[in-house]
Structure 1
């Protein structure tokens, strides 16, 4: 049996109901591209440095709060960042 066949049979083999758990590492990795974009925008000469001077720092703070288990504060910070955009 090859890997593709195992993956096809997997959903039938898992008991229902199934709870899917995503850990903080994977959530934080979803934030990484946002941080890279903000850092690039700030370094570029396109004028974003004046508009979003702390965006990279703010996104890093959200990631840190997730790693420390401060989810409520991380959500508040993300909402604040979305209003700035």
Structure 2
């Protein structure tokens, strides 16, 4: 069902697989920022071992260049 997102509400999606794209590149904030400059976006890869976010999501989560990588993971910058 379709619905409008409230201001500030995150857009969350899952299931992307760059291997199915014409150009198999990972989705990055550089892809998402022009489309969603103000709304936090989180996209989970089909394997759920990777996720792509935009700059608004990084700001909302308080993630900066100084944020340490999480245990067992990495924040690709």
* TM-score bracket for this pair, using the shorter chain length: under 0.3
More strand by share: 2
More helix by share: 1
Larger radius of gyration: 1
